[in-house]
Amino acid sequence: MIKPKVLILSGYGLNCEDETKYAFELAGGQGKIVHINDLIKNKNQLNDFQILAVPGGFAYGDDTGSGNAYGLKLRNHLWENISKFVLKDRLVIGICNGFQILVNLGLVPALNKKYGKRQVALLPNDSARYTTGWFDLKIVSDTPWLFGIKEISLPIAHGEGKFFASDEVLKQINKKNLIALKYSNINPTGTMQNIAGITDESKRIFGLMPHPERAMFFTQLPNWPYLKEKYLREGKKLPKFGPGLQIFKNGVNYFKL
């Protein structure tokens, strides 16, 4: 069985490409990190991949709004290739800064297949400050990315993660069930309807603020020392991995089914 190929973008301040690649490979995929300038030089290589991943980071230092400058660069040079890519049976994931880039590129929510049109925004957190922390999330959509997951706890780390859309757009998003996951109890940023991530109408393009790759190992969990002691006393074996890995497995398995 050949491994599904994942293209992970890099450059200009994106900074989670290494761990995102590792997560996809742990999940059984075959990852390749490609600098945006190399992709621009060789546009067609996008066709060789089943999954496009825009990792987290701080592209262009969030200047002129998070995800804006990097989104523009993709739009100016690669729009044709990307729009073709997303119409095929392919998967796209944008994590944190990657989500902000997808939003500015108009790949999510892309209501009525209007790919390329900006319909929502990710605004500065209510705290007006970069915020990190682990939060419980509940899954509310049937995107293949979240297959079989009902609840999950993941860390966030961002300054601009407050989802915003006009009433009309928000109504559409709800009607078409494009909200992928929501913060369960605490809303860390003042985001609308506790939204932490959304998809497009095909459910194959998925953007989220939390970082699933930061929950791929057991020892990344904030309470792992407690769990370790608990398992030791119960005579249980310690797990190796964390819940975040499942999201990458889902992406890879989509092409194995």
What are the catalytic residues?
96, 211, 213
Lay out the site mask for another protein across 147-186 (x = CB under 8 A, - = otherwise).
--------x-x-x----xxx--------------------
Residue 22 CB, shortest distance to another protein, in Å, is 5
**In terms of Cα–Cα distance, which of 172, 96, 184 is closest to 140?**
184
Residue 201 CB, shortest distance to another protein, in Å, is 18
Query: Are the C-beta atoms of 181 and 208 separated by less than 8 Å?
Result: yes
Q: Which of 68, 141, 199, 246 binds another protein (CB under 8 A)?
A: 68
Cα separation, 216 vs 205, in Å, equals 21
Nearest to another protein of 147, 231 (CB atom): 231
Query: Are the C-beta atoms of 100 and 58 separated by less than 8 Å?
Result: no
Lay out the site mask for another protein across 205-244 (x = CB under 8 A, - = otherwise).
------x-xx-xx-xx-xxxxx-xxx-xx----x------
**How many C-beta atoms surround the C-beta of residue 209 within 10 A?**
31
Residue 182 CB, shortest distance to another protein, in Å, is 20
Print burial letters for 181-195: b (CB count within 10 Å at least 16), e (below 16): bbbeeebbbebbebb
Lay out the site mask for another protein across 14-53 (x = CB under 8 A, - = otherwise).
-xx-xx--x------------x-xx--x------------
Print burial letters for 84-120: b (CB count within 10 Å at least 16), e (below 16): ebbeeebbbbbbbbbbbbbbbbbbbbbbeeebeeebb
Nearest to another protein of 201, 213 (CB atom): 213
Query: Are the C-beta atoms of 21 and 33 separated by less than 8 Å?
Result: yes
Structure tokens at 70: 């990097």
Interacting residue ranges for another protein, rule: CB under 8 A: 10-13, 15-16, 18-19, 22, 35, 37-38, 41, 56-58, 60-65, 68-69, 72-73, 76, 104, 118-121, 123, 129-133, 155, 157, 159, 164-166, 211, 213-214, 216-217, 219-220, 222-226, 228-230, 232-233, 238
